[in-house]
Structure 1
Amino acid sequence: MQESHQQKSQTIYQLLTSLKNKEVPVIDLPSAINKIGKYGLEEARSDLESYLSHSDPLVRAASLQNLCFYYNRENEYVPTAISFLLHDPDADCRSKGARMLSYLKKNMHDNAILRLLAPIVRNPEESFFVRKDAYGAMRSIESYSEDELTDISTDNDLEKKIDWNFVDNNLPVKKAQELLDQVQSGTILQSDLPTILEEMSRSIIPQARLVLESYLSSASPEVRSTALKMLCLYYNQQNNYLLSAEQFLLHDPAVICRVQGANMLGYLKRNTEDPAIYKILAPIVRDINENEQVRKAAYLAFCSIAFYYEDEQIQMQRADFSLQKDVNWDFIDAYLPFSD
């Protein structure tokens, strides 16, 4: 027998009371939020908003989705979706932020949002799924097509599916040029320079290359580490920064820079199974006198070069990853100098 409208209403208000009193188990929160949210009850708004900062990413994502779907009267949740996309530590929540922008800004040709999304699509360090959803949002904002979005969401070949001219035409080039001018004028505080260099580089303006190269020898480890990363991610047309990454790993006195060198070798040589790079990395993974962070980064690079799998890389970056227990030492030892 189906519930009457009155019974359904009573059930929802009982569930809302439980939500207000924090009586719903965490595992049931996403379902409860979805059930309450679709009714658009104004008295539930503040409770749903309170779960936007919940420690569980599934709860945060459910709260954002329901607020955007059922409570967004005057685009008041656009900034929230942007914040999720740019700052949430969980990739699924960042993807949810992109999808909500796709929904909230459908067919609006909002240039400001397109300029926000384009660098995310271009960011090779971002999760594949976040980049794909950011691109889907760009297409939806420019000209919504359900068939096109379905095609994008089901295709795993990101590089071939994306219209890169469309993406690059929406990069915030003017802002990047302004940042470049500030960097060249010397008015940026040293502590702010890494963040500024990252933001400037993501629009891939050609003029930034030489400036970034000049910072490879900066006295600040944070600055030179950032310069290497940006050059490798955005300006490495013919592996011209491979040697720089190798030199950072082998010779830089700062741990942060040696780690970055390993990270960039893993990125530049992803899926190439390059034995020459294996032979550089293997002794570092084995070196008990090397910093543990550097050894772990070298092992992650090793695995990325052998076969890059995003979920595996995330697992190996967890705090409890152990060099003693979790490394495939037979794989490493096969590329040590004495094994030739």
Structure 2
Amino acid sequence: MSHSSPGGHPPHPREALDALLDLLDLEQIEQDIFRGVSRSAVVPRVFGGQVAAQALVAAGRTVPADRLPHSLHAYFLRAGDPAAPIVYTVDRIRDGRSFTTRRVVAVQHGHPVFHLSASFQTYEEGLEHQAAMPAAPDPEALPTSAQTLPRYADRFLDPSAADRILEARAAIDLRYVGPPPYATAGEPREPRSQVWFRTNGKLADDPLLHVCLATYVSDMTLLDSVLLAHGRGGWATGDVVGASLDHAMWFHRPFRADEWLLYDQESPSASGGRGLGQARIYTQDGRLAISVIQEGVVRVPR
């Protein structure tokens, strides 16, 4: 998929979602070895959410269908080359009566670029409690990305950045509850951000697929709260450079990625050229589905 030109249009949402599903349908080239390709990104490296989702697909292909991910822990080791395939090697660490553990190494050009550990579990009844869902407006009442981004194109170093972001995110309906960082650059705000998201089309009834798509989206906006605390607009405005360093997720309850999910994000700390984001993802009816923590490089250009 090529980048849009300034003034261009993103692909049709359903076509974009089908392309994303094809991206996650890895080719098996040997037992426990899979190969994936990349899609266009808004920066000249593989999008971190893509490699995380593909690695989880690879791990899931080696696990019984009745066991779903309950957690993952990952490190981004090198910038991925979007022009080259990525090879995922799965190590079957443990197969227990209730839990299954997998380790995945993603390799490009002979070097590891990403490392994932994931744990899967059969369903069990147990104790139940959760943090209450925070207040948030109805997602249907919020502007879409296509309505929001073009309004701020003049704030980006490259006016075509808005088109490229829309193209890269065309498979996902992502709506900010408040102004995104690039809309209020220069105005420090509370280090908290909320977005609603869902896929731009219905998905098959495959729980692993929904988990992998939520993993894909989870890397899109989590460090926004770091930027908000310092009035920074992000890479597109040129006032910071950054990249994901590590990423952890815990999957608490069933959910569908093609139904609205509230991504409630905040940053408790930034220091040493790094920023920490933590978040909870809720279903629209208030169930806590996922917890997420990520640290990323957040540097001020000199």
Common fold by TM > 0.5: no
Q: Which has the higher strand share?
A: 2
Q: State the structure with bigger RCO (CA 8 A, min sep 6), 1 or 2.
A: 2
Higher helix share: 1
Give TM-score scaled by structure 1 length.
0.21
State the TM-score, normalized to the length of structure 2.
0.22
